[in-house]
Amino acid sequence: MKKQLQDIFKGFSKLSREDRLKALKDVGVLQESDLEYLAKGGLRDTSLGEKFIENVIGYFQMPLGVATNFRIDGKDYAIPMAVEETSIVAAVCKSAKWIRESGSITTEVIGNEIIGQIQCAKIKDYADFEKKILLQKKYLIEVSNREVAFGLVRRGGGVRDIHVRRVPRGDGTDMAVIHVLMDPCDAMGANIMNQVCEFLKEPIEQITGEKVTMCILSNLVDTKITRAVVHINKIDPDLAEKIEEASLFAKQDPYRAATNNKGVLNGIDPILVATGNDWRAVEAGIHAYACRDGQYRSITRWYRDQGGLTGVFEAPLVVGTVGGVTALHPTAMMCMKMIGANSANELSRVAAAVGLVQNLGALKALTTVGIIEGHMKLHTKNLALGAGAEETEIPMVQKKLEEILSIRKRISLSNAIDVLKELRANKTSASSVHHSS
């Protein structure tokens, strides 16, 4: 019988890199051509880079890992994560395993439309401006769909609505801002939205007699919200209370909220990077949404629920599965296939789920053993490398650093340097004893 994805999750982290790749190929997540591509070191030909940006001098290589154990809305995933920070992948796999064994992850996307903005900075009469635009709203939607967004319309999307907002200039007068609401289907939609807004400049100036000052999409997409819910059925009541308390801290205090949300983005950004999505846009949207009531707050919340624990992530998380780098960068294309998301909404739901699960792992560690234990344990290898240890010396330096960590509860690069020095001194004296005897 053909192996299923869930069959390879157990012990995955203990496999060698070759065996991990083979396991992923055996379950059809990767193809032979992907293994060859990775064996060659991924993308090397800089001519593609030249097409993306200017002044290219090479590529920046980032580790690409796989998050295992995820079952989201009943579907198993192997989730690619491109990230440099130690313990992110290990922690999220561990928490996903916990949920897989005693809980569930469900997700949804609420709303379809992204937002574009057309600003008229100085207007004579706001009420008159708004009236004129609303009278011509149907025409503006129709002409945008006919002249610019026709491809999206064919795929079931396109411009759906137009709103007018009054924004105070701060000097007693107002600016007018038109919002264009558009369903981008499986695209992230930035390019097409900017084209629609720039196209509408002329008709809007004609209709209102006012000057359009700028046109650009907004990353605060509060019209399309991704929601992920984690429920753990049975949990130590003391731990559940601690996590609920940590959640309250992140809701009420912006200093803690920033770090909490950074931890959520530890789960989201690596997926966006791996799939060639615009992580800056998502970050900007999430942070802006986090302060929608005037105070920066957590974008996740955890509460005790029927003897268990429930966590919710809710924020804009707009991604694309067509267009842009996603469809051009061979590593992004491979990662897209790997994740197996059939739509941009599915990719968004997966990223939200991983962010929430990452948050759970961080809160559990922070409220129990602390962050250092897990983090530094994995960080010992980086410290050994940083101290200049050779490949053969790394395991011994790591072992010694772990001993120091368990006694002193902290380790640093200077510990690693001392350990390495001692190791080499012992080696030299052992070999001189050997030679003289």
* Interactions with ligand MEV, residue window 137-156 (CB under 6 A): none
Q: Is 157 in the site for ligand MEV (CB under 6 A)?
A: no
Catalytic pick among 138, 234, 262, 409: 262
Catalytic site includes residue 375: yes
Q: At closest approach, how far in Å is the CB of 250 from ligand MEV? A: 7
The nearer residue to ligand MEV, 150 or 255, going by C-beta atoms, is: 255
Q: At closest approach, how far in Å is the CB of 354 from ligand MEV? A: 14
The nearer residue to ligand MEV, 29 or 257, going by C-beta atoms, is: 257
- Per the CB < 8 A criterion, the answer to whether 268 and 351 are in contact is yes
Q: In this chain, which stretch among 154-162, 213-221, 259-267, 324-332 interacts with ligand MEV, using CB under 6 A?
A: 259-267
Q: In this chain, which stretch among 44-52, 131-139, 261-269, 312-320 interacts with ligand MEV, using CB under 6 A?
A: 261-269
3-state secondary structure 270-306: HHHHHCCCCHHHHHHHHHHHHCCCCCCCCCEEEEEEC
Q: Residue with the closest Cβ to ligand MEV?
A: 263
For the sheet containing 214-218, what is the strand order?
A: 158-168, 174-183, 114-120, 214-218
Comparing CA positions, the residue from 315, 281, 280 lying closest to residue 301 is: 315
From 260, 380, 398, 415, residue interacting with ligand MEV (rule: CB under 6 A): 260
Rounded CA-CA distance 291/294 in Å is: 5
The nearer residue to ligand MEV, 232 or 265, going by C-beta atoms, is: 265
H or E stretch including 168? Answer: strand 158-168
Catalytic site includes residue 34: no
Catalytic site includes residue 278: yes
Sign of CA dihedral 101, 368, 359, 89: negative
From 371, 413, 425, 430, residue interacting with ligand MEV (rule: CB under 6 A): 371
From 106, 119, 191, 259, residue interacting with ligand MEV (rule: CB under 6 A): 259
The nearer residue to ligand MEV, 329 or 379, going by C-beta atoms, is: 379
Q: At closest approach, how far in Å is the CB of 328 from ligand MEV? A: 30
* Interactions with ligand MEV, residue window 351-370 (CB under 6 A): 362, 366
Rounded CA-CA distance 115/105 in Å is: 29
Q: In this chain, which stretch among 32-40, 132-140, 258-266, 376-384 interacts with ligand MEV, using CB under 6 A?
A: 258-266
What is the per-residue burial (b if ≥16 Cβ within 10 Å, else e) of 122-148?
Answer: ebeebeebbebbeebeeebbebbbeeb
Q: At closest approach, how far in Å is the CB of 283 from ligand MEV? A: 14
Q: In this chain, which stretch among 19-27, 59-67, 254-262, 271-279 interacts with ligand MEV, using CB under 6 A?
A: 254-262
Catalytic pick among 85, 202, 236, 390: 85
Comparing CA positions, the residue from 191, 183, 120 lying closest to residue 156 is: 183
The nearer residue to ligand MEV, 131 or 262, going by C-beta atoms, is: 262
The nearer residue to ligand MEV, 68 or 260, going by C-beta atoms, is: 260
Catalytic pick among 25, 132, 251, 375: 375
The tokens describing 167, both together, are 């924004």
Q: Is 263 in the site for ligand MEV (CB under 6 A)?
A: yes
β-partners of residue 115 are 181, 218
Rounded CA-CA distance 353/29 in Å is: 20
Catalytic site includes residue 262: yes
The nearer residue to ligand MEV, 275 or 359, going by C-beta atoms, is: 359
324: left (phi over 0), alpha (psi -120 to 50) or beta: left
The tokens describing 262, both together, are 């950074």
Give the angle 258-317-196 at the CA atoms, nearest 5°: 125
The nearer residue to ligand MEV, 23 or 264, going by C-beta atoms, is: 264
DSSP string, 321-360: SSSTGGGT-HHHHHHHHHHT-SSHHHHHHHHHHHHHHHHH
From 144, 266, 331, 415, residue interacting with ligand MEV (rule: CB under 6 A): 266
CB-CB neighbours of 168 under 10 Å: 9
Q: At what angle do helices 88-102 and 254-274 cross, to 10 degrees?
A: 90
Q: What positions carry a catalytic annotation? A: 85, 262, 278, 375
Binding site for ligand MEV (CB under 6 A): 85, 259-260, 262-263, 266, 362, 366, 371
